Amino acid sequence: MATPEELAAAELERALADFLIALRVEAGLSRHTLSAYRSDLRQLIAWAGSRGVFKLADFDRELIYGWLESLRAAGLATSSVARKLSATSVWFAHLVAEGRIAGDPTALVRAPRMGRSLPKSLEVGEVERLLSAPTQDQSLPPWRQQRDAALLEVLYAAGARVSEAIGLCLDGIEPSLRVLRLYGKGRKVRLVPCNDRARAALELWIRDGREQLPHPRQRPEVFLTRSGTPLDRTNAWRAVKRAATAASIRGAISPHTLRHAFATHLIEGGADLRSVQEMLGHASISTTEIYTHVDGEKLLALHRLYHPRA
């Protein structure tokens, strides 16, 4: 016969399972995000159990603070502690909404303060050199030059995540509308403008280089490897890194660097934040606001130069 603690622990697991189902069905979160929620919350449940707390009703603010302190003491990064608190807050808000508990023990728990990290970006001239690098790399076969050039153009022209770029399918290219159909987090679809240069690079790759690979018409994905299989993240990263080396661009350069450059250059050019949010596929505008730093230094300099009281 199960002990009261075992029954309470089983009830916690059921509550967590119900929450994860709700996130998947109602919020459409990705498998990766759901896995992160599951891991964080099971860690909380295990920590509470080690202190004799097995019932949802017994989770209080002091318990949450104690858990966060234990994470900090274990040397966990501030950003990771904040993420775990965020997952916990969402879970308890769900439990309150479902009537399983009377109050949210995380309601007044403040997230740890973090320094705001600014995205790594590139100057316009650096992007130009990077995008031109594949077609100038004579050590690459022509089909590879065309593929890598088209991939880099898509990453920058559409501000695509690497998963969105390698997941782009042939039917996701709308030449008449001049847009690309990308599938973002949670399989959310969005249409992003595609400039003439990117469209030309895609057309050349699809018409010429891609046709040289094994059975190209049997694959819906735009970007393929030499063996005719879909391009993966690792190969995409290598393509960007190779182009960066050829273009003499130093520092940590990745596919995401081009996404940052896309957003940064749009903001610098005067694009409004809401439009950039839509093109990046950010669920919250607060995520996009980090890019507003790009004009901050310029505006401050102008203020100091021209304001009579600066």
Residue pLDDT, tens place only, 162-179: 999 999 999 999 888 789
Return the number of other C-beta atoms located less than 10 Å from residue 304's C-beta. 9
Does 6 have pLDDT greater than 90?
no
- Report the Cα 304 to chain-centroid distance in Å: 36
Q: Which residues are catalytic?
A: 161, 185, 256, 259, 282, 291
Structure confidence by residue, pLDDT tens digits, 128-160 = 999 999 999 999 999 999 999 999 999 999 999
Q: How many percent of the chain have pLDDT more than 90?
A: 45
> What contacts 99, CB < 8 A, 6 or more positions away?
none
Is the pTM of the predicted complex or chain greater than 0.85?
no
**Collapsed DSSP state (helix, strand, coil) of residue 103:** coil
Dump pLDDT digits (tens) for 30-78.
Answer: 777 788 889 999 999 999 989 888 888 889 989 998 999 899 888 888 7
Residue with tokens 């919250």: 284
Least confident of 13-22, 223-232, 242-251: 13-22
What is the reported pLDDT for 259?
93
pLDDT average, residue stretch 108-127? 73
Q: What pLDDT is recorded for position 264?
A: 87
Residue 296's pLDDT is 47
**Helices in the chain by DSSP H: which ranges?**
4-22, 31-49, 61-73, 78-97, 124-136, 142-157, 162-166, 196-204, 233-246, 255-268, 273-280, 285-288, 293-306
121/284 Cα distance (integer angstroms):
21
What does the pLDDT read at residue 116? 53
Give the CB-side neighbour count of residue 125, counting CA atoms within 13 A.
Answer: 1
* In the predicted structure, residue 113 carries a pLDDT above the cut 50: yes
Token pair, residue 220, equals: 């819906």
Q: Is the Cα torsion angle 283, 289, 294, 298 positive or negative in sign?
A: positive
